Structure 1
Amino acid sequence: MKNILSTSPASAFSPHFQNVNRAFLQQQPSARLEQPPRKVVFLLLEHFSMSTFSVALDACVTANLIYSRKLYQMQTCGIDQPKALSDLGIAIPTDGILDDLQLDADSVLVVCGGYRNELGPLPKLTAKLCEAAQRGVTLCGIWNGSYYLSAAGTVDEMPIAIHQDNRALMRECFPEQELSYAAYSAGPGRYTCAGPNSVLDMMLDMISDQQGGACAQSIEEVIGRDRTSAEGECPSSLMLSDPQAPQALKDSIMLMEKNIDEPLPVNEIAKLVGISRRQIERLFNRHVGSSPARYYLECRLTQARQLLLQSNLSITDVSVACGFVSSTHFSRSYRRLFGHPPTDVRRGRE
Structure 2
Amino acid sequence: MGKHSISTQSVGFLLVPGYALMSYAAAVEPLRAANLLSGKELYRWWHAAPGGKPVTASNGVAIIPDCGTDRDRQADMVFVCAGGNPALFEDKSTFAWLRRLARRGVTIGGISGGPYILAKAGLLEGRRATLHWEHLPAFREAFPDVEVVPSLFEIDGNRITCSGGISALDLMVALIERDHGRQLAASVGDWFLHTHIREGFGPQRMDLRYRLGIADEKLLSVLRAMETSIEMPKPREALARQSGISLRQLERLFRRHIGHGIHAHYRWLRLERARQLLRETTLPVLDVALATGFASSSQFARAYKRAFGEPPSETRLSGESFR
Instruction: Give TM-score, length-normalised by structure 2.
Output: 0.56
Does 1:63 pair with 2:34? yes
Change (3 A) 1:117 1:90: farther
Kept in 2, the 8 Å contact 1:158–1:187? The answer is: yes
Is this contact kept in 1: 2:20–2:81, CA < 8 A? yes
Aligned to 1:139: 108
Distance between the aligned counterparts of 2:36 and 2:98, measured in 1?
30
Deviation at 1:88, TM superposition (A): 0.6
Q: Distance in 2 between matches of 1:163 and 1:199?
A: 11
Q: Secondary structure at the match of 2:129?
A: coil
Alignment partners' CA distance in 1, 2:38 and 2:88 = 38
Residue aligning to 1:122: 91
CA 1:214/1:142 → structure 2, altered by over 3 Å: closer, same or farther? same
What runs of 5+ residues in structure 2 fail to find an aligned partner?
199-323
SS at match of 1:35: coil
Q: Residue 201 of structure 1 aligns with which residue?
A: 170
Return the match for 1:94 from 65, 68, 74: 65
Verify the 8 A CA contact 1:49 1:114 in the aligned structure 2.
Answer: yes
RMSD: 2.3
- Consecutive unaligned residues of structure 1, counting only runs of 5 or more, are 1-32, 230-350
Q: Residue 80 of structure 1 is aligned with which of 51, 54, 65? A: 51
2:79–2:111 CA contact under 8 A, matched in 1: yes
State whether residues 186 and 205 of structure 1, in contact with CA within 8 Å, keep that contact through their aligned partners in structure 2.
no
Amino acid at match of 2:83: G
For residues 67 and 87 of structure 1, do their structure 2 counterparts lie closer, same or farther at Cα, with a shift above 3 Å needed? same
How many aligned residue pairs are there?
195
- Cα deviation, 1:80-129, whole Å, max 9, x if unaligned, reads 1331010111222111211123135xx11010012354533321121112
Give 2:162's aligned amino acid: C
Q: Distance in 2 between matches of 1:118 and 1:224?
A: 34
1:222 maps to which of 191, 195, 210: 191
Counterpart Cα distance in 2 of 1:168 and 1:226: 32
Contact persistence 2:189–2:197 (CA under 8 A): no
Counterparts in 2 of 1:224 and 1:146: CA distance versus 1, 3 Å: farther
Alignment of 1:169 onto 2:132: no
Change in Cα spacing, 1:151 to 1:66, as seen in structure 2 (3 Å) is same
Identity %: 26
Equivalence for 1:112:
81
Q: Distance in 2 between matches of 1:77 and 1:40?
A: 11
What is the match of residue 157 of structure 2?
A: 188
